[in-house]
Structure 1
């Protein structure tokens, strides 16, 4: 059996030992080193060239976000972040995913906790995904307003870069259209590598686009709120975490809340609304892309533009096929060239339901053209 080499990065000696032990229990992985801060991690990545890195965020000398930025610039290597399950932890994690981290796992009870054993299965699963990712083909995406942290502070600059007061959803109709006059809808599904891809696409959507955007990103609760806030801070359109009963408005993007399915339903007034539910996961996912896509099937009066981007598995492919057969105007799959994991888009391509296969940086322009023509 092939063994993948792992570098563990954490400022806690105890935590480094726990993480090393958890990983070493799987013969598929071999821990070849442990770093106590980001500066040491950068040096060890260059010297040891591990196949994958686990990276803490808050560390002295150089924090995990800054180390990730340097690694992805100088020696691109798949990185799985260790994140605290707090609001600040979620915000920092979104920045890490934008900067090229493959995925993250939560630290259930802080930086020193035996509870980390509870997430061993998830950790090993994410490492298996990470070793399949080819991060060398991506250019580093510079997060807005980024600069290195100063001195031994634990992520101070990172927290500052994501501080953002969400814009309120417009109360006045956009482009002179009331919510009931929504004529088109964009639906996007993504998973592993999705926050980075969504940053690229949503930040390039023009303001006042005459269509709402509904988004499913496979992500746990709390993190989707931070994702929506982050996207809102860098985009021309308003981005919010969806809530049950929200009326779809043109020029607004709605991110499905982690842990809940999101679908689109008809409102009693003839407009369209968000429906949030906690039905059983589909294919292990809640939210599910297929659930969102399939909810759009009855609305043949809408021009539907459907997008699948980077992610493991096939969630969304069957929904895209059904929508294509039901008259969807545009079906886009992200190309293998830019996908961090070419799973979900590949599944759609193999079902022969894709009208456009596009690099990540070209998707926003194509959507704008399709909606505005």
Structure 2
């Protein structure tokens, strides 16, 4: 529980001052320095050796993405990005997550947000959590992606009465983790995949589009009342709760603006509790990297209502933040604790085994 030294990087003198004051007001956080652009930041990191960096996406001379790439390739430390709520800001934020940024904070009103104090609690909380997160070194060569074999006709449950649905819950570090899981699944997986990724409105649509462009599956943002299709992954829209219900037409998405559950909208607990009410379906629940405990209570409900539910939890070894998987494992209901690169393969093998 020592002091966390933070470097604040932003091209706006006003933003540097405001963010530094917000952080400095916490007894465990010390702003060790500030930088006005990426080039300045790299020099300050080498000189000051901060524990955490807050990094603006849009900057002159060297922007946030280029700076982040240099940090993660040569001196990986936890980085939190600050970005605008624009479509371009969302795309750049997701790119930064792929490069290894731990988390991001949206500026409420553009690059110079006079109301940045609205984000005070979030800024402090994310810095406090980031110091314990894993910052992985970025390599120039991308790891070879193993393509999982498609489902043979015999695997698609000809003799099974129950359909299959896969639920995934994730938060901090989730975009990068989802990329490793979703892009490896075969397009003929005989199940819809429903996902809660803690993100604000606007970012989940960009995430869905990005994953869709990389995947064999169709990946999209869930829409209210649409009928869920096998071989499609549905991401809960930011700022809405996402449920699945059984109708005469099939499984249907219910997307509604509600109160947050334990601070989250979308919430993993809300989604997984809806899966527990599905009488006919075999449920596979996957809990991946993220801070907090969202989803743990609904795993208890799932196992109580549907004892044949299979629960996977990402192992501590590969989690960016071990909070949500750790909370899941503390329920003593997790069937498999799995390293991130192996989740897709084990999930597919479990589903295939049901059809043999």
TM over 0.5: yes
Query: Could you say which residue in structure 1 is the equivalent of 2:301?
Result: 322
Alpha-carbon distance, 1:348 to partner: 1.3
Task: Describe the shift of the 1:366–1:131 C-alpha distance in structure 2 as closer, same or farther (beyond 3 A).
Answer: same
Task: Describe the shift of the 1:91–1:141 C-alpha distance in structure 2 as closer, same or farther (beyond 3 A).
Answer: farther
Query: Could you say which residue in structure 2 is the equivalent of 1:150?
Result: none
CA contact (8 A) 2:6 2:51 kept: yes
1:352 matches 2:332: yes
Structure 2: where are the runs of 5+ without partners? 143-154
Query: Could you say which residue in structure 2 is the equivalent of 1:237?
Result: 217
Query: Could you say which residue in structure 2 is the equivalent of 1:370?
Result: 350
Query: Could you say which residue in structure 2 is the equivalent of 1:99?
Result: 99
CA RMSD after TM alignment: 2.0
Alpha-carbon distance, 1:263 to partner: 0.7
1:307 matches 2:286: yes
Alpha-carbon distance, 1:105 to partner: 1.1
Query: Could you say which residue in structure 2 is the equivalent of 1:166?
Result: none
1:246 matches 2:244: no
Query: Could you say which residue in structure 2 is the equivalent of 1:280?
Result: 259
1:63 matches 2:29: no
Alpha-carbon distance, 1:182 to partner: 8.1
- The aligned runs of 1:286-297 (5 Å cut-off) are 286-297=265-276
Alpha-carbon distance, 1:279 to partner: 2.6
> How many Å separate the matches in 1 of 2:223 and 2:271?
14
Deviates more, 1:302-311 or 1:103-112: 103-112
Deviates more, 1:192-201 or 1:36-45: 36-45
> How many Å separate the matches in 1 of 2:141 and 2:126?
23
CA contact (8 A) 1:305 1:328 kept: no
Alpha-carbon distance, 1:139 to partner: 4.7
CA contact (8 A) 1:99 1:143 kept: no
Query: Could you say which residue in structure 2 is the equivalent of 1:196?
Result: 176
* TM-score (norm. length: structure 1): 0.86
Tell me, what secondary structure is at the counterpart of 2:311?
strand
1:9 matches 2:9: yes
> How many Å separate the matches in 1 of 2:7 and 2:332?
40
Alpha-carbon distance, 1:283 to partner: 1.2
Alpha-carbon distance, 1:141 to partner: 7.2
> How many Å separate the matches in 1 of 2:343 and 2:47?
37
Tell me, what secondary structure is at the counterpart of 2:115?
helix
> How many Å separate the matches in 2 of 1:12 and 1:86?
18
> How many Å separate the matches in 2 of 1:311 and 1:219?
12
> How many Å separate the matches in 1 of 2:41 and 2:338?
35
Query: Could you say which residue in structure 1 is the equivalent of 2:42?
Result: 42
1:262 matches 2:242: yes
Query: Could you say which residue in structure 2 is the equivalent of 1:29?
Result: 29
Alpha-carbon distance, 1:330 to partner: 2.2
Alpha-carbon distance, 1:309 to partner: 0.4
Alpha-carbon distance, 1:45 to partner: 1.7
CA contact (8 A) 2:243 2:274 kept: yes
Alpha-carbon distance, 1:114 to partner: 1.7
CA contact (8 A) 1:98 1:143 kept: no
CA contact (8 A) 1:98 1:141 kept: no
> How many Å separate the matches in 1 of 2:308 and 2:81?
37
CA contact (8 A) 2:242 2:271 kept: yes
> How many Å separate the matches in 2 of 1:143 and 1:19?
35
State the Cα deviation string for residues 266-298 of structure 1 (Å, max 9, x = none).
1233x1100112232211111110111111113
CA contact (8 A) 1:72 1:140 kept: yes
- The aligned runs of 1:198-217 (5 Å cut-off) are 198-217=178-197
Corresponding pairs, count: 337
Query: Could you say which residue in structure 2 is the equivalent of 1:172?
Result: none
1:220 matches 2:220: no
Alpha-carbon distance, 1:324 to partner: 2.8
Query: Could you say which residue in structure 2 is the equivalent of 1:158?
Result: none
